[in-house]
Amino acid sequence: MFPMLTVLSMFYYICLRRRARIGTRGEIMNSRRAIESNQRTLPLTVEVEQYVKEIVDFSSHYGSENSMSYTMWNLAGMPNVYPSSGDFTQTAVFRMYGKWWEQCASAPQPFRRTPEKFQSQDYVELAFEEPVYPTSIDILETYHPGAVIRILACSLNPFSQNLPAEVRWEVLWLGEPSKMVTHQARQFSPCIKQINFPTNLIRLEVNSSLLEYYTELDAVVLRGVKERPLLSLYKMPLIDISDFSDSEEEKDAYEAERLRKQFGDTAINEHTNNGYFDKLPYELIQLLLDHLTLPDLCRLAQTCKLLYQHCCDPLQYIQLSLQPYWARVNDAALDHLQSRCTLIQRLNLSWSGNRGAISVPGFCRFLKVCGFQLVCLELACCHFLNEACLEVIAQMCPNLQELNLSSCDRLHPQAFSHISKLVGLRRLLLYRTKIEQTALLSILTFCTDLRHLNLGSCVMIEDYDVIASMLSAKSKNLKSLDIWRCKNITEKGISELVSGCRLLEELDLGWCSTLQSSTGCFVHLARHLPKLRKFFVTANRTVCDTDVEELAANCPNLQHLDLLGTRMVSPASLRKLLQSCKNLLLLDVSFCSQIDTRVVQELTVQFPKVSIKKSFTQ
């Protein structure tokens, strides 16, 4: 088998090099002619410095939809905090950090063929006043820096009323997830690439998986010139000297001859027009192609008829993530993939199709052909979606089990009623959507096999006690529930919820300010949810020692606990918790007035396997 792998790799390499060589030589000649005919002096240009004018779009934030604390909107304007360091409400904070969320049962399964270079988890898009050719970008990070991994510029002016025929995104800088030695504030000014169009729309993509706590961004500064420097029009690419050689064909022939001699005693000795690939079993070639990314698969399909057949086989597209290519996914791409995706079961279109790239007819056309066998559909931040799209999803995807509509905040409330027809749903993410109570009750009535439900920051729901009662009656198999920043659930709703949903492993009640420990709701919860692994009661000032001790006594499987902001928890109760919950991995006691830095240090020494968080404000 290994000789066959070598032959396949060499053949693929030769084909790609031949195709790339034509374009490379053309670029060299064009660049040479341009330079020879345009020997001019660079014009004097004035550099413009500007702060963010408006937040255009983002995937998540820690804050509420109805306030400014910890929201992306804090990135607009001049810095509020910098150069100070620490945890400040006036900064922009994303919803997640570290690897804690990936360890939960509610985390989605990763998609095969996701390129290693694509590691973005969140994004924010920033609009500036004037389009410029960027010369530098400064990102003011005030707490746990190092999350920004990609910076892009867009050709579209977000303040223009007219949508251009083509919207281009260009990567200005690309990095890797990092873990900084210090969590102090810094000004991050990466060396950015020159682009050939002016921009006033910048996108930051982040990955916080290596950070010890939430990253906080204060402001972004864009510098640039209004007129494009002429020399940049004809900037010579970095060319390897071997690209000027006229003996590439000879090199390829030499490589082929070397392989033929090396494996002359094998079954591939006979020459064919398919580079010996027709000697391999069909299943073996399929297995080899399974390791290629989508762009490589499309390139390989152009090399010969045999490999075209393999690359277009629907079995190669059982699951497909287009999220890494969000900037290039449009109607034409979906039409092109349509014939290959007739057997697709898992599809990720998150972040794709915005600003007219995917139309409603284009999306519906694709689903009508490829939707029947779908069990998982990821559509986070897909702003092209409307009621017609959800209606088609409900009609054409009868086997759907997972649906992600996170941050589809432009969907009309009425559109969500169609989800109730997807009676096999097990995982439903509605974070930051405008779903209303009537539509949600209809969904819960008919989708009785829900295992994971995210209603975080769903501000249009009038009475969460009613929702909790319906969950208790209909969703007996529920394992995770996120009602982050719910403003109207009470002890009555919690009592009904835990009486019916006894299998709950994850419960996020962060920033649910209407819950009061004095009612006994947290004690009741701890006694009825023995399987609990993740419990967030972030910013609930009333959580007390009794609540923590009940968790220690009744929830031995607890792994993640967030107690941020309580004044009523003492070191003694925390020590009992850490002694009883042997599987505990994460404990957040930030802004707990009785838990100072000395206590955290002592507990960290005693329980080294637990990551105890204690943020600070300088």
| Cα atoms found within 13 Å of the Cα of residue 420, Cβ hemisphere only | 15
* 233 has a pLDDT exceeding 60: no
Peptide bond into 83 cis (omega under 30): yes
Count Cβ atoms below 10 Å from residue 244 Cβ, excluding itself: 10
Q: How many CB atoms lie within 10 A of CB 102?
A: 12
CA distance 608 to 529: 27
Q: What angle do CA 399, 423, 481 make, to 5 degrees?
A: 105
pLDDT at 253 over 60: no
Percent of the chain at pLDDT exceeding 90? 79
Q: Within 312-356, where are the H helices? A: 331-338
- Phi and psi for 357 in degrees, rounded to 5? -65, -45
Decide if pLDDT at 231 tops 80: no
CB atoms near residue 44 (< 10 Å)? 7
Angle in degrees, CA 437, 427, 377, rounded to 5 = 105
Residue type, 318: I
Q: Confirm if 548 and 569 have CB atoms less than 8 A apart.
A: yes
Cα 242 from chain centroid (whole Å): 39
Cβ neighbors of 172 (< 8 A, separation 6 or more) are 134, 137, 151, 152, 153, 192, 193, 195, 202
**In this predicted model, what pLDDT tens digit does every residue of 281-337 receive, in sequence order?**
999 999 999 999 999 999 999 988 889 999 999 999 999 999 999 999 999 999 999
Prediction pTM value: 0.87
Q: Computed from CA positions of residues 371, 377, 378, 381, in that sequence, does the dihedral angle turn out positive or negative?
A: positive
Contact present, 175 and 98 (Cβ < 8 Å): no
In 286-352, DSSP assigns E strands to 319-321, 346-348
Helices 387-396 and 360-370: angle between axes, nearest 10 degrees = 10
- For residues 398 and 400, give the distance between their C-alpha atoms in angstroms, rounded to a whole number: 6
- How much is the pLDDT for 274? 62
Helix or strand or coil: residue 454?
A: strand
Query: Which is nearest to 587 in space by CA: 607, 616, 567, 568?
Result: 607
Look at residue 364 and tell me whether its pLDDT is greater than 80. Answer: yes
Residue 238: both structure tokens together: 């970095």
- Looking at every residue in the chain, the average pLDDT score rounds to 89
SS3 440: helix
Q: Using DSSP bridges, classify how beta strands 199-206 and 611-613 pair: parallel, antiparallel or unpaired.
A: unpaired
The whole-angstrom separation of Cα 524 and Cα 555 is 12
Handedness of CA 470, 472, 476, 480 (dihedral sign): positive
Give whichever of 8-17, 101-110, 226-235, 531-540 has the largest mean pLDDT. 531-540
The reported pLDDT for the residue numbered 243 is 36
- Whether residue 433 is predicted with pLDDT greater than 60 in this model: the reply is yes
> Quick check: 4 pLDDT over 90?
no
Q: What does DSSP say about strands 199-206 and 54-58: parallel, antiparallel, or unpaired?
A: unpaired
pLDDT per residue over 538-574, tens digit each? 999 999 999 999 999 999 999 999 999 999 999 999 9
Under DSSP, the state recorded for 291 is: T
- Cβ atoms 482, 452 nearer than 8 A: no
Residue 302 contacts residue 308 (beta carbons within 8 Å) = yes
Mean pLDDT is lowest, of 290-304, 460-474, 488-502, 598-612, for 290-304
What does the pLDDT read at residue 547? 98
The pLDDT of 205-234, averaged and rounded, is: 88
pLDDT at site 268: 38
Among 375, 353, 380, smallest CA distance to 364 is for 353
∠ at Cα 320 (314, 324), nearest 5°? Answer: 145
8 falls in which pLDDT band (50, 70, 90)? low
Please, which residues have CB within 8 angstroms of residue 83's CB and are 6 or more apart in sequence? 185
The three-class DSSP label of residue 568 is strand
Q: How much is the pLDDT for 37?
A: 44
